[in-house]
Structure 1
Amino acid sequence: MKKIHVVPVISTAAISVAVLFGGWAIYNQVAVAAPLEEAIADVPGIVNSAKPNMSKEQVTIDVTLSQDANLREIYHSIILNGEDVIGSRELKLDVLNESNKELDDYWYQALFEVAEAMENKSYSDIPLALDAAAKENPAIQATTEMDENNVYITLRSGDAVKFIVLPRTPAQMGVWENA
């Protein structure tokens, strides 16, 4: 019987693993992430974006938006421009806000009623809840929009802006980490 040489076997296995994972990483960058990054760069309202983080279920992108950005249109544009890459995965934008204490306090004041409206699927109550909170601070402008997947809320006060995306499926809501 021949004696198996351990060093060549381990070396061959290590080289094979490195080539396979290296090839997968290059494919992921060139064929998947790069086209999506290009699609994101063409969307008006996005000032800066990080490299997309992709899993089997969702695509997550950190973005910085301009003051006058329309969050619903940005979502729609990214999904439309990147549909070949995104496919059936959920798109999740982590918006880096330029919020302030005034906007945060306003949001927390309206949050209970907004959460209740989301849970009961009475989405038309969301603008009413935001308007009720605005009575105490009329300097804040609140805009709400909705599509088949999310409710988009934009709060503005001077140079500060807070973008909030609430998923419309209650089972996926959990804690709104992007609020």
Structure 2
Amino acid sequence: MKIRMLPVVITAALSLVLLLGGWFLYRQTALERPVEQILSQYPGVNSAQVNITQNQALLKLDLQSNVDLRGMIAELRKEQGQMFKKRSIVLDIADHSTPDIDALWKEASFSVAEAMASKRYTMIPDTLSKIQSENDEYTISSDMDNHYIYVALSSATDKKANKYIILPLTAAQGTGGQPNA
């Protein structure tokens, strides 16, 4: 019996295309699209792109000022909780910062880092409210859940100027840092 190579190669190529196409279609329709819809409907989200892999969900977001990040992530975990049990959420938020907002964050970052290192998280809102009281034209807020501390800085006069900082409560693996929570 002589095996003809052309039909074998064509069959293998078609099988590979069907398997990879099926996985891509499943990932797009069953995993990524529902998450994108939840994020797009959340108040203050201009756009959302989602890339889900085996270990993580990368959320690329373009946000307006004063979006409740903790609430958004909580709603996402509530709606799609099973998906995020084995995957970490990585937020990539478009930076609409200004030099003044960057200067405010630079002023606050040392105190925030100190509070994170000493696990005295109540120092963070106190530090931020002190800085905000000295700079009335800016809004500075913080929030916390079991995974992250969320810091939002925005301009009261320019509704498009904002900066979001997401600080993990646990040290990143491989950085030599100690777990923080």
TM over 0.5: yes
Aligned residue for 2:57, secondary structure, equals strand
Query: In structure 2, what is the equivalent of residue 11 of structure 1?
Result: 10
TM-score normalised to structure 2 length: 0.82
Shift of 1:6: 2.2
Q: How many angstroms apart in 1 are the aligned matches of 2:173 and 2:96?
A: 26
Trace 1:2-151 onto structure 2 (pairs within 5 A).
2-50=1-49, 52-131=50-129, 133-134=131-132, 137-151=135-149
Cα-Cα RMSD: 2.3
Q: Residue 165 of structure 2 aligns to which amino acid in structure 1?
A: I
Q: How many angstroms apart in 1 are the aligned matches of 2:15 and 2:76?
A: 37
Shift of 1:93: 2.3
Aligned sequence identity (%): 34
Aligned residue for 1:69, secondary structure, equals coil
Question: 1:108/1:129 Cα in 2 relative to 1: closer, same or farther (>3 Å)?
Answer: same
Q: Residue 96 of structure 1 aligns to which amino acid in structure 2?
A: A
Question: 1:141/1:39 Cα in 2 relative to 1: closer, same or farther (>3 Å)?
Answer: closer
Question: 1:10/1:63 Cα in 2 relative to 1: closer, same or farther (>3 Å)?
Answer: same
* Counterpart contact for 1:43–1:77, Cα < 8 Å: no
Query: In structure 2, what is the equivalent of residue 164 of structure 1?
Result: 165
* Counterpart contact for 1:43–1:78, Cα < 8 Å: no
Q: How many angstroms apart in 2 are the aligned matches of 1:135 and 1:69?
A: 21
Shift of 1:111: 1.7
Shift of 1:131: 4.5
Q: Which 10-residue stretch deviates more, 105-114 or 165-174?
A: 165-174
TM-score normalised to structure 1 length: 0.83
Q: How many angstroms apart in 1 are the aligned matches of 2:38 and 2:135?
A: 38
Shift of 1:7: 2.1
5+ residue gaps, structure 1, are 175-179
- Give the number of aligned pairs: 172
Shift of 1:41: 2.5
Shift of 1:97: 2.8
* Counterpart contact for 1:119–1:170, Cα < 8 Å: no
5+ residue gaps, structure 2, are 176-181
Question: 1:102/1:172 Cα in 2 relative to 1: closer, same or farther (>3 Å)?
Answer: farther
* Counterpart contact for 2:141–2:153, Cα < 8 Å: yes
